[in-house]
Amino acid sequence: MSDLFLTSPFDILFKDFFNSSSPFTPAHQAKYTHPVDIYDDEKGLHIEVACTGISKDEIDITIENGSVLKISYKKPEDLDPEKAYIHKSISRRSFNLGYRISSKFDLSKAEADYEHGLLFIDIPFTKTAKPKTIKINERAPF
């Protein structure tokens, strides 16, 4: 099919669906990341990480270089070799997440909570991140 006959974005997307050299990620090469929600509000930055079947003691949270938040979990080699699974689809895979956090948030005051398989990390704004008003002065004539 010639590119001349492709008229809509859907046509181009469909054409490139399995093409590894296209700007789109082909479906068979898509990499799925660990489920994370990130949002901010008037209190600061909030990160929620799904941690199904993982205890809070198995999760590591570190701050590197003062601005990089790292969240990781290393899955044990075999969860329970005694179980003869008929079906196994609960994802307990290892993850290593890293986020560069803006300087408008104070990582030194970050707090983490864990409830019902969700890890909650709250990072407040820094005091200096609050909006500042600059007064406009009258300029004296030359």
Measured from the Cβ of residue 43, the count of other Cβ atoms closer than 10 Å reads 10
- What pLDDT band is residue 44 in, cutting at 50, 70 and 90? very high
Per-residue DSSP letter, 133: -
d(CA 3, CA 12): 8
Residue 129's pLDDT is 61
- Give me the architecture of the 33-129 domain, per CATH: Sandwich (2.60)
Q: pLDDT tens for residues 25-42?
A: 444 444 557 899 999 999
Break the chain into its structural domains and give their ranges: 33-129
* Mean pLDDT calculated for residue range 90-107: 87
Q: Is residue 98's pLDDT more than 80?
A: yes
Work out the percent of the chain whose per-residue pLDDT is above 90. 42
pTM above 0.75, yes or no: no
